[in-house]
Amino acid sequence: MIEQLRYHTVDELQQLSLAELQALWELVPTDRQRAYRAAYDREVRNAGAIGSDALERQVAAELLRRYAESALVPVGSRWARTPARVQDAARENEIPDLVEDGSTAAGGKPSPKVIMALALLALIFVIFLLARLLGDGSRSGEAEVTAEASHTPTPEVSPTPTPLALEAQDDVITGGDSARAVAYPVNLQVVLPDGNAPPRVWVVQRRVVRAAEWNYDPNPDIASFVNGMSVRPVIGIPWSEENAAWFNAMQEGAIFNLTMNTGAILRYEFAAKSEVRRSDTRIFRQVGPGLVLLLIGETDDDGLPTATRTLITATYPPDQELSRGGELVGLSLNVQEGQVGDSLSLGDEVAIVLRNVQTVTDTPDLPAGQQVLVFDFDVHAGADGLDTSLWRMEVYDAGGQVYLSNASALDPAGYGALPLDIPAFAVIPASVGYLVPADFPGGRLVITDGSGQAVSFRLTLSAPELAVQYDGIDVRLVSVTTIEGQITTRLRIYNGQSTTVHFTPDDIWLSLGYAPDPPGPRNPAEGMPPFDLLPEQAVNLTLVWYWVDEPYAALQAGSTRFAIQLTRQR
Across the chain, which has 570 residues, the per-10-residue mean pLDDT values are 62 79 76 76 69 75 75 64 68 55 41 54 64 50 39 42 48 53 79 78 79 73 81 88 89 86 80 81 73 88 82 77 47 70 87 91 80 92 86 76 79 84 90 85 83 83 54 86 88 86 87 86 85 88 88 88 78
Measured between its terminal Cα atoms, the distance across the chain in Å is 50
Are 131 and 64 within 8 A, CB to CB? no
Q: Number of folded domains in the chain?
A: 4
Are 114 and 172 members of one domain?
Answer: no
Domain endpoint, select from 405, 430, 460:
460
Residue 321 counted as domain residue: no
Considering the domain architecture, whether residues 553 and 518 belong to the same structural domain is answered as yes
Closest CA to 148 of 134, 129, 166: 134
Residues 6+ apart with CB under 8 A from 481: 487, 488
Sheet of strand 486-495: strand arrangement:
473-483, 486-495, 538-546
Q: Indicate the residue among 407, 426, 460 that finishes a domain.
A: 460
Looking at the fold, whether 231 and 338 belong to one and the same domain comes out as no
pLDDT at residue 99, as a whole number: 40
Distances (CA, A) of 137 to 19, 25, 144, 527: 7, 14, 11, 44
Same domain, 275 and 192: yes
> Same structural domain for residues 204 and 67?
no
Around Cβ 488, how many Cβ atoms within 10 Å? 14
pLDDT at 137: 40
Q: What is the pLDDT of residue 375?
A: 93
pTM score of the predicted model: 0.35
Structural domain for 94, as ranges: 2-150
- Residue 465 belongs to some domain of the structure: no
Q: If DSSP codes are grouped into helix, strand and coil, which group holds residue 533?
A: strand
Residue 489 lies in a domain: yes
How many whole angstroms separate alpha carbon 63 and alpha carbon 148?
11
pLDDT of residue 163: 47
Amino acid 456 reads S
Q: Within this chain, do residues 181 and 297 fall inside the same structural domain, yes or no?
A: yes
Co-location of 253 and 351 in the same domain: no
CB 234 within 8 A of CB 284: yes
